[in-house]
Amino acid sequence: MPVGTQATVKTQSHRELEELGAEIILGNTYHLYLRPGADLIAKAGGLHNFSSWNKPMLTDSGGYQVFSLKALNKITDQGVEFQSHIDGSRHIFTPENVVETQRKLGADITMPLDVCTEYPAEKRRAAKDAARTLEWVNRAKAKWLENTTDQVLFGIIQGSIYEDLRQQCLEDILAIDFPGLAIGGLSVGEPKEDLIRILDFLAPLLPESKPRHLLGVGTPEDLLDGVFYGIDMFDCVMPTRNARNGTIFTRRGKMTIKAAAYAEDFRPIDPECGCAACRNYTRAYIRHLLSVGEILGLRLTTAHNLYFYIHLMKSIRLAIKENRYSAFRNQILMNLGIGSESLY
């Protein structure tokens, strides 16, 4: 799902997102809590009305952002006290008020406050964080059950790179019984080998009846691997953030469109891509737009990357339906390693 941190996916209108094929977007609870505030959004009728997005929306707990403010937060059993990065004001996130904030935001899928363990972390630290996460998600579910709404609350599995901690956390989360499951703490700087190892370990333990969301991941390769291990849902700023920095995703790997090599390249980014950027503009023109700081350049690169990600997922769904996913995954992974200079 495209990440719409401030209730908007940067540079794209909601109509354009729908044309790209987006079916759900993610909003950031931390940022929306600070600006414009959950009460104001509630007065507007929730995020859907406030932003005119009429399809599903997921909000995270804001915990990742709060925990990333290392020098500005204090963790207690009650929750996380933190200082706003905007104006220095003091706030606290508790399991209960994070659920209440997301209720006001009106998202369709919500996440409980959890402790996102940084990498690297000693096992004793990871175990303590996982235990606190379980305590918090228990409190979050109790708060969630107080309101009879259509909002869904996922349970979050923590445990860093330690398999036994992950298994214990999963078993406890399943005992609490959430409508869906999220796997956290696997996009915090750990080696790719650890990501794969943990997904491989968890895969046979995850119930098939519940949707699985891998938080904050990732590259096209990560999506292909995640689906292989049974993941259903992904969110990541990578396609949009990289686009604004001039990095383009293609079926032959990444392309740095700002490079001088494309100054006189009058081909589309990808001749087989159906996005508006590839149908109507050349590499040279898009490079020119980025070089001179024109907003259209950011819009075109973002639209292309989102189109690439969304249509990769559509192709994945088709391959699963046709029972050929393993071969499809292997072929796409091979293609991604070729390099974008080999598009022709």
Return the biggest CA–CA distance within the chain.
62
Residue among 229, 235, 123, 243 nearest 187 (CA)? 235
User: CA dihedral in degrees (61, 59, 214, 254; nearest 10)?
Assistant: -120
Core vs surface per residue 207-221: b (16+ CB within 10 A) or e: eeebebbbbbbbbbe
Which amino acid belongs to residue 27? G
Q: Give dist(CA 291, CA 258) in Å, integer.
A: 7
Strands 233-234 and 80-83: unpaired
CB 215 within 8 A of CB 299: no
Neighbours of 287 (CB within 10 A): 23
Q: Give 49's contacts (C-beta < 8 A, 6+ positions apart).
A: 106
Strands 233-234 and 247-250: unpaired
Which amino acid belongs to residue 81? E
**Length of the chain counted residue by residue:** 344
Q: So which residues are the catalytic ones?
A: 60, 235
The tokens describing 30, both together, are: 């931390």
